[in-house]
């Protein structure tokens, strides 16, 4: 049996799947997905980023979150903390505290516009993500639950 292969989007070489990191998957996914860059290119890109980006290089474990929310969501830690305070440190959907190891709530954002909507616990963030942020699917789920709530 031959091992499956994939073309790296960085070095353009065709390599076996064992040369790629797996993507983060959710339990509902049947097939395993792999990153677009091979392990070698991923490592090289990380080393270059580490050496050339002072903000990245100088961040400690404490500063990693600050760096990532600014880079990925365009908000500062102060803006995150303001939203956190407005929500009293609770998930905007279920009004529970975060159950994650870090104690942080996830930044929920619109995938089309990138606008931050609020902070959610891991379960609520995953739930609306699984339903593709689709209001029709979410409404359908509510109607479904209402229909069987008295059973």
Which DSSP string corresponds to 73-103? HS--HHHHHHHHHHTTTS-TTT-----STT-
Over residues 56-113, the pLDDT tens digits come to: 555 555 567 777 888 889 998 889 999 999 999 999 999 999 888 778 899 999 888 8
CA torsion 84→88→94→99, rounded to 10°?
A: 70
Q: How far apart are CA 54 and CA 77, in angstroms?
A: 18
Q: Which residue has better confidence, 49 or 66? A: 66
pLDDT band at 27 (very low <50, low <70, confident <90, very high): low
Report how far Cα 119 is from the mean position of its chain's Cα atoms: 13
Assess contact for 73 and 107: CB atoms under 8 A.
yes
Domains in the chain: ranges and CATH: 61-151 (3.40.1800.10)
Whether the model pTM is above 0.75: no
């Amino acid at each position: 049996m031959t091992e499956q292969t994939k073309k790296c989007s960085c070095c353009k070489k065709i390599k076996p799947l064992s040369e790629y990191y797996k993507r983060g998957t959710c339990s509902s996914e049947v097939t395993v997905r792999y990153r677009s860059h091979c392990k070698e290119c991923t490592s090289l890109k990380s080393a270059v980023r580490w050496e050339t980006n002072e903000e990245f290089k100088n961040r400690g474990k404490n500063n990693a979150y600050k760096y990532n929310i600014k880079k990925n969501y365009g908000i500062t830690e102060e803006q995150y903390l303001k939203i956190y305070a407005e929500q009293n440190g609770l998930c905007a959907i279920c009004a529970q505290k975060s159950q994650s190891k870090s104690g942080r709530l996830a930044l929920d954002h619109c995938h089309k516009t990138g606008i931050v909507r609020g902070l959610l616990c891991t379960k609520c963030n995953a739930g609306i993500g699984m339903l593709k942020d689709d209001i029709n699917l979410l409404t359908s789920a509510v109607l479904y639950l209402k229909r069987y709530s008295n059973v």
